[in-house]
Amino acid sequence: MGVTTLVSVEEYLRTSFPDADREYVDGRIVERNVGEVDHSDVQSSILHYLRTRYKKRIWAGVTVRVQVKKTRFRIPDVTVVAGSKPAERIIRKPPAVVMEVLSPDDRAGDIEEKINEYLAFGIPCVWVINPETRRAYVHTSKGSHEAKERVWRAESAGIEVPLAAIFE
């Protein structure tokens, strides 16, 4: 059994990671599954759509640290904040929506844990999209469902994203 070296929050926040930012979970540095073309393409399309259509109403960014607990920092693929660009470097108040773009190496249990953390933190809407199947899911405190109408909606931010716009 391997030995895990725990890292303080302060050390995590001071560290730059050369290949991709990493999440922080109770003293452990956790790698994220990123870096593939399909993942990047979907992430970029979502961001472009949101910034183009809702620029005056929201701020949207990619791979921004969100502190969901005192010792947990997650990095959603896309984060939406109602209003203007956050003043701090790290988001410490619940954003309106976070989005996770699935990668082939993502494990269901890990994604479920993130969704539960986001909702417990007070994020009203979590969107998850699978680039391979082009299926999307909405998670709220009231439950989860597939976006069968092929449109993501988030009342918390007053936004809609048709999936066709992401996969053009």
Helix, strand, coil distribution of the chain in percent, nearest 5: 25, 30, 45
52 falls in which pLDDT band (50, 70, 90)? very high
Is 6 within a domain? no
Q: How many CB atoms lie within 10 A of CB 29?
A: 16
Is 29 within a domain? no
Which residues pair with residue 81 across a beta bridge?
59
Count of domains observed in the chain = 1
Q: Render pLDDT for 101-113 as a digit per residue (tens, 0 to 9).
A: 998 888 899 999 9
DSSP state of 88: S
Question: Cα separation of 32 and 20, whole Å?
Answer: 8
Is 99 within a domain? yes
Q: Give me the phi and psi of 142, to 5 degrees please.
A: -90, -10
Report the CATH number at residue 146: 3.90.1570.10
Domain assignment of residue 107, given as a range: 34-166
Is 19 within a domain? no
Q: Render pLDDT for 147-158 as a digit per residue (tens, 0 to 9).
A: 988 888 888 888
Is 124 within a domain? yes
Which residues pair with residue 101 across a beta bridge?
129
- pLDDT exceeds 60 at position 130: yes
Is 87 within a domain? yes
Under a CB-based contact definition with an 8 Å cutoff, are residues 161 and 46 in contact?
yes
